[in-house]
Amino acid sequence: MDVALIVRVSRFFAEAAWVTVEISVLALALGLCVGFAAALAKVSDRAVLSLPARVYVSVFRGTPALIQLFIIYFGGPQIGLQLEPFAAGVLGLGLNIGAYMTESIRGAIVAVERGQSEAARCLGLGHLQAMRKVILPQAARLMIRPLGVNSIALIKGSALVSAISVVELTYTAHRFISSTYRPFEMFMLSAAFYLLIISAASHLIRTLDARFALRT
Amino acid sequence: MQGFDFWAVTEYSDVLLAGMAWTALLTVASSGLSLVGGAVFALLGLSRSRVVRMPTAFFVWLFLGTPLLLQLYLIYFGLVQIGIDLTAFAAGVIALSLHFAVYNADVIRAGIVAIDRGQHEASRSLGLGLGQTMRKVILPQALRNVTPALGNNMIALLKESSLVSIIGVMELTLSAQRAISETFRPFEFYIAAGALYYVLNAVLELVLRRVERGTAMTR
């Protein structure tokens, strides 16, 4: 164990860890937006809405995230979409996790008792109003935990963007492994940062869950 | 902006199909090993001895909290440091197996804990040893209960296996990359690779559903 080396390089790892946090947070925001839209479309009675949502979820859950990322970053320019690695990373990770979040959100929506939506409709609320004022407020409290699981998976999945040369934690670990020939030290250093980020995220999710989750 | 040429894909269909076969092999081999590893980690984690339990818990915590890609780098580049020089394929199989063994261990442990204690006591009083009890009474029941969850991990493994392309294993993703380096058509070939993964995924789901129906306990 070369402690002096670890101290010397840890600054680069801390900066890289911040990039991992940034890209995860942005992808999370995108994933939540896409996930909500797709989940609402998927529970709709109209095939025009539910069919595209079903195709989206099936395609993005049925293929590797790495391939999706490569299509966006390397294939994008062919369809006129030229993105920086960071932006391509956010888009790829966000669309990928969005498909998993769609299922988490949809699961929470259908878990709210059917009688609730019937009662709301009987009281004269429209479909959208019933959704917004009766179903979603209850469903939101049920989806904290599954969305939390998705978010943790997203943080670990963010390592993939190192393959399109975003300088985040895994990329930095790889770079220093090749230049120092100290793989175990570099692995442990990067692992420490990942564990720190993931512990903080899990703590946040647990707190939110304890505060807001619907007890059944 | 250049036009598309999906016909180029057909010229490389043998390369892509060979890559697909390697991905299938990688998935089957790693899944098998990750099931065995998962059962081992689960049993170690349930051990009565602290000396066994603590290191297992640490290892599981470390592997659950870090990305697969990082683990892959550790195993492929890291083991060389202590004199173990693995081929890319071997490193890929080991990394995928260990990574998913940890996930499977979680599932299997939950399955074991859910089995009624009476089963354990009955089998011990019939004279079976601890190992025999686990192997012949507890595990067969526990595994049947958690087949769907283990199946989900296997499906995740299929998709994550694309990562080993990064250390140079010639599976589906790297096969597509090789074709791209000759044709400069990333869009077409990554779409084609994605479609082939989708097919593998659908086939695996079909097989797993069969297995689930075969092993489900009638309640």
Predicted-complex ipTM score: 0.90
> pLDDT grade, residue A6 (50/70/90)?
confident
pLDDT, tens digit (0-9, with 9 covering 90-100), for A129-172? 888 889 999 999 999 999 999 999 999 999 999 999 999 999 99
Question: Which tokens go with A209?
Answer: 């869950």
pLDDT of residue B1: 46
Residue A67 has its nearest CB partner, among B62, B70, B197, at B197
pLDDT, tens digit (0-9, with 9 covering 90-100), for B7-48? 888 889 999 999 999 999 999 999 999 999 999 999 999 888
Grouping H, G, I as helix, E, B as strand and the rest as coil, residue B185 is coil
Q: Tell the residue number behind the tokens 């589906």, with chain if given.
A: B172
B66 and A190 in contact by Cβ < 8 A? yes
Residue A24 CB-density burial (10 A; 0-12 exposed, 13-18 middle, 19+ buried):
buried
> pLDDT grade, residue B78 (50/70/90)?
confident
The distance of B84 to chain A (nearest Cα, Å) reads 13
Rounded CA-CA distance A102/A122 in Å is: 28
Q: Tell the residue number behind the tokens 């320019």, with chain if given.
A: A77
Domains and CATH numbers, chain B: 7-215 (1.10.3720.10)
User: Where in the sequence is the domain holding A27, given as residue range(s)?
Assistant: 3-212
Handedness of CA B24, B28, B30, B34 (dihedral sign): positive
Q: CA of A79: which chain B residue's CA is closest?
A: B1
Number of domains in chain A: 1
B69 φ/ψ angles, rounded to the nearest 5 degrees: -60, -40
Q: What is the DSSP letter of B149?
A: H
Question: Which tokens go with B97?
Answer: 């197996």
> pLDDT grade, residue A113 (50/70/90)?
confident
pLDDT, tens digit (0-9, with 9 covering 90-100), for A94-110? 999 999 999 999 999 99
Encoded amino acid at B5, one letter: D
Handedness of CA A104, B196, B101, B40 (dihedral sign): positive
B11 φ/ψ angles, rounded to the nearest 5 degrees: -65, -25
Rounded CA-CA distance A96/B46 in Å is: 35
Rounded CA-CA distance B135/B39 in Å is: 10
Report whether A135 contacts A117 (CB < 8 A).
yes
B65 and A194 in contact by Cβ < 8 A? yes
Determine which of B70, B84, B172, B189 to mutate to test the interface with A (most A C-beta atoms within 10 Å): B70
pLDDT of residue B214: 81
> pLDDT grade, residue B173 (50/70/90)?
very high
Q: Does B185 touch chain A (CB under 8 A)?
A: yes
pLDDT, tens digit (0-9, with 9 covering 90-100), for A39-69? 999 988 889 999 999 999 999 999 999 999 9
Summarize the confidence of residues A188-194 as an average pLDDT. 93
The average confidence (pLDDT) of chain A is 92
B81 and A178 in contact by Cβ < 8 A? no
The distance of B127 to chain A (nearest Cα, Å) reads 43
The distance of B82 to chain A (nearest Cα, Å) reads 10
Of B120, B97, B119, nearest to B39 by C-alpha is: B97
Encoded amino acid at A162, one letter: S
B81 and A182 in contact by Cβ < 8 A? yes
- Residue pairs spanning A and B at CB distance below 8 A: 116
Rounded CA-CA distance B104/B69 in Å is: 18
CATH of the domain at A189: 1.10.3720.10
Rounded CA-CA distance B176/B189 in Å is: 6
